[in-house]
Structure 1
Amino acid sequence: MYEREKDISLLEHDEFQLERIDSALHSIEEGHFGTCAVCQQPIPYERMQAVPYTKYCKKHQPETVVSENRPVEEEFLAPAFGRTSLDERDDQNGFDGEDAWQIVESWGTSNTPAMAEGRDIDSYDVMAIEATDEVEGCVEAYESFVATDIYGHDVSILSLHNSHNISNVITYNGQIKSPKNL
């Protein structure tokens, strides 16, 4: 994509330079070469050496205009997941482009905490798209920390702030038990 943008920009620049040169040749034929098109004063020799095709003195030089010509492919590409993200649509809840990226991203990216928007990053996992919004394996958020025994009794609440090291299990009646004693 970068090379295509560069090609377009270089082509536009060359076409613009040719137009300027043709205009300068035309002004030589008519006899106004070296005079400002606005104030009719002679353009300084140093400026004519630096920019030989100019029609303006430094004071009356118009502002440069940034080109708005973009390849048609860019209309399709932006935003990155815009064409396949179905999150904002109420009638869709299927697997979409953003979900595909989240799966790929779970295997790692080149993002580091130094590149994060906020500086309070505890884990690389928090940097993922919607990292704190969705709970994997659960429909509702409370299902990630409510537990029962194998028979559906002894309701307990698991503290999952650090899923790699569950230090305490708080049972329904308020008693704190260590996972080793369960």
Structure 2
Amino acid sequence: MSHLTEAQKTKLKQSLEERKAELEQHFSSNGAEDSLLGDSLTLSTGELSSVDNHPADTGTETFERSRDLSINTSLSEELSEIEAALERMEQGTYGICEASKQEIPYERLEAIPFTRYTVEHAPARRDSGERPVEEEVITPPPSGAGQGRQEHSGRFDDAGAWEAVQDYGSASSPVTPPGQDIEEEDS
């Protein structure tokens, strides 16, 4: 930690402690780290039954719960990283890259005070640009997707479908075979 001045160390420690207090407040105000996320849907929503609800309401509630769980997991990981950074400060190893043992620049520590790595040695992000494994088994769309894609698919799905079938009549009009006029039937 010798590359950091005392003022820098103090500022970084204060930043870490403030963020730690914010995260602890978040978890304590929700009652628990996973606040009602482990309970059944009935308990967490307060509904006695989901029978009288529209299925979309249940879908919305499920989505909200999964989003909240994801946020809480991410915040919990951040809290663990902050606690580990404060521990490194106590041990005197704060600001040293765990991979290369090089000093982490102050600017990086100022941006991400709990980082353990220099930019060059930071682990790859989860969003590394790799495609999901599910895409290996998904059927590709028909060639020429977009304008005219139905021409090549062998199915009828025309934007002007009504115009294509109106000659056949409707339930409120007399049904006449295509090509015959009503006048021809009367004669």
TM range (shorter): 0.3 to 0.5
**Which structure has more RCO (C-alpha within 8 Å, separation ≥ 6)?**
2
- Please, what TM-score do these two structures have when normalized by structure 1? 0.42
Structure richer in strand, relative to its length: 1
The structure number with the bigger radius of gyration is 1
Higher helix proportion (structure 1 or 2): 2
